[in-house]
Amino acid sequence: MRKPFVAGNWKMHGSKAMIGSLISALRAGAEQIKGVDVAVCPPSLYIQFAGDMLLESQIKVGAQNVASVAGQGALTGEVSVDMVQDLGCQYVIVGHSERRSIFDETDEVVAAKVGVVLEAGLTPILCVGETLEQREAGVTQDVVAGQIGVVLQKLGVSAFNNIVIAYEPVWAIGTGKVATPEQAQSVHAFIRSLIANEDSKIASNLIIQYGGSVKPENAAILFSQPDIDGGLIGGASLDAGDFLAICKAAGEACSE
């Protein structure tokens, strides 16, 4: 059985004071985290600070993005996977829709980043999802298949032994418009079938998170869908009470 995984994507939010009180509150409520893997992804500058505060806790740390090449180099402003690994990260969010749309990351760049993250021994959280226009045009499956297809083609199905996929419909991110459990389940099942076409065992072990306006009020029903294995949480991960309630919902729903 798959163990659900909930990750908080803090995006460009936080300060030492804010992160200090958020993590203290998460640690104080940690008894709510049962039967679920949990990580938080602070802005890169705060990874060390957050990681230090989370030492010996069950909450792991991830990065929100890394450069598409590993190691060191003349790439002003970039952060490499080796650096976030050095600071204790176990996960890296790759191909978030904000990176794709605002920073022009193509499927090829995203696949290259997935490759460097895997190479470093970290787990990529590969984000995929359609825009509202694409959903209305009926091409959701084509879009998601294309985004995953480039990674499959470049790295092969065995890479998916160590990849987490986050299905995040772009129209649901930060909008308060959550996908219905049926809409989400149907895309999650489709994603699993894409991988199953190549290798059914890898597909059945694959963690597929849902992301997009997950809140304590809608978490349980989303996570009780058979192919939804937790969530990638934006706004609600900035509130310790909400984030813990979502982690608890994942642990409970997926153990049923």
- Output 203 or 245, the one with its CB closest to ligand PGA: 245
Q: Do 127 and 232 form a contact (C-beta atoms < 8 A)?
A: yes
Phi first, then psi: give them for residue 50, nearest 5 degrees: -65, -40
**Contact status: 80 vs ligand PGA (CB under 6 A):** no
Rounded to a whole number of angstroms, the minimum distance from the CB of residue 56 to ligand PGA is 27
**Contact status: 130 vs ligand PGA (CB under 6 A):** no
**Contact status: 124 vs ligand PGA (CB under 6 A):** no
Q: Do 9 and 64 form a contact (C-beta atoms < 8 A)?
A: yes
**Contact status: 26 vs ligand PGA (CB under 6 A):** no
Which of 94, 236, 207 minimizes the C-alpha distance to 151?
94
Among residues 96, 98, 105, 130, which one is catalytic?
96
Dist CA 183 CA 199 (whole Å)? 24
**Contact status: 209 vs ligand PGA (CB under 6 A):** no
Residue 31 a catalytic site member? no
Q: Contacts with ligand PGA in 172-191 (CB under 6 A)?
A: 173-174
Choice from 170, 235, 245, 247 touching ligand PGA (CB under 6 A): 235
**Contact status: 95 vs ligand PGA (CB under 6 A):** no
Dist CA 14 CA 18 (whole Å)? 6
- Output 158 or 175, the one with its CB closest to ligand PGA: 175
- Output 44 or 193, the one with its CB closest to ligand PGA: 44
Choice from 212, 225, 243, 251 touching ligand PGA (CB under 6 A): 212
Dist CA 254 CA 241 (whole Å)? 20
Q: Do 108 and 119 form a contact (C-beta atoms < 8 A)?
A: no
**Contact status: 4 vs ligand PGA (CB under 6 A):** no
> What's the Cα-to-Cα distance from 255 to each of 36, 55, 67, 164, 218, rounded to whole Å?
9, 27, 36, 19, 17
Residue 96 a catalytic site member? yes
Rounded to a whole number of angstroms, the minimum distance from the CB of residue 81 to ligand PGA is 20
Among residues 105, 168, 188, 252, which one is catalytic?
168
- Counting DSSP H helices and E strands in the chain, the numbers are 11, 8
Dist CA 29 CA 206 (whole Å)? 28
Return the residue nearest ligand PGA (CB atom).
234
The count of other CB atoms within 10 Å of the CB of residue 15 is 9
Choice from 37, 105, 130, 168 touching ligand PGA (CB under 6 A): 168
Choice from 33, 164, 194, 232 touching ligand PGA (CB under 6 A): 232
Choice from 67, 214, 250, 253 touching ligand PGA (CB under 6 A): 214
Burial of 136: CB neighbours in 10 Å, binned 0-12, 13-18, 19+: exposed
* Residues making contact with ligand PGA (CB under 6 A): 9, 168, 173-174, 211-214, 232-236
User: Could you list the active site residues?
Assistant: 96, 168
